[in-house]
Chains A and B, each alone.
Chain A
Amino acid sequence: DAGVTQSPTHLIKTRGQHVTLRCSPISGHKSVSWYQQVLGQGPQFIFQYYEKEERGRGNFPDRFSARQFPNYSSELNVNALLLGDSALYLCASSLSYREAFFGQGTRLTVV
């Protein structure tokens, strides 16, 4: 069975640009969450979606947005990229607000 898959695995963008990161959850999982992990720290919660509705939002600026599609896959969008947005972005899926399973992440570098 496929786990959580994220694309792309690596990405380099220029300050001010826009980026879209994608996540496909484990089959049957309806909840998707996004986390940002900067170097040397633990992941920080950005968004959680369940059945295509936003159920939770972390302390991130409005430049960050997300959505979930009818097939439960999800996109994370970041506008007007800053150098500080450079991080590993992790997607997690879960069956029912319990155990979360993470993808391999997308490593974003903003130059």
Chain B
Amino acid sequence: GIQVEQSPPDLILQEGANSTLRCNFSDSVNNLQWFHQNPWGQLINLFYIPSGTKQNGRLSATTVATERYSLLYISSSQTTDSGVYFCAVEGSIGTYKYIFGTGTRLKVLA
């Protein structure tokens, strides 16, 4: 099955810093999402981005499907950005399931 790797596994930033999170996947994908998991466990949708580039405020994401990676950019980080960021991919049409990476644990210091 598809393998999903995220890097770095852990990241500590000072408030105001920028960061880039990476997601590599081993095969072509039909869908790709980025999530932020808050301390209570809820997965918050950040981007649905099987290809191309999207921006939402201080966050943006780029997926290069032909090269099998996606990037999540966080600019001017805030303490509320702390948590775990997951990339999830769905394989070819008909697999009906998302495969999650192991996540990047981000801590933003005041």
Contact = CB atoms under 8 A, between A and B. Distances in A.
Contact of A98 (B31, B35, B102): B31
A42 B41 contact: no
Contact of A104 (B31, B41, B48, B101): B41
A104 B102 contact: no
A100 interface: yes
Interface residues of B, number: 23
The DSSP consensus for interface residues of chain B is strand
B98 A100 contact: yes
A103 B38 CA distance: 12
A44 B100 contact: yes
Give the interface size class of chain A. Answer: 20 to 34
The DSSP consensus for interface residues of chain A is strand
B97 interface: yes
B99 interface: yes
Contacts of B40: 104
Given A42-B101, A43-B98, A45-B97, 8 more contacts: A42-B88, A43-B43, A56-B95, A97-B90, A100-B33, A100-B88, A100-B98, A101-B45
Interface of B: 4, 31, 33, 35, 40-43, 45, 48, 86, 88, 90, 93, 95-103
Interface of A: 33, 35, 37, 41-45, 48, 50, 55-56, 58, 88, 90, 92, 97-105, 107
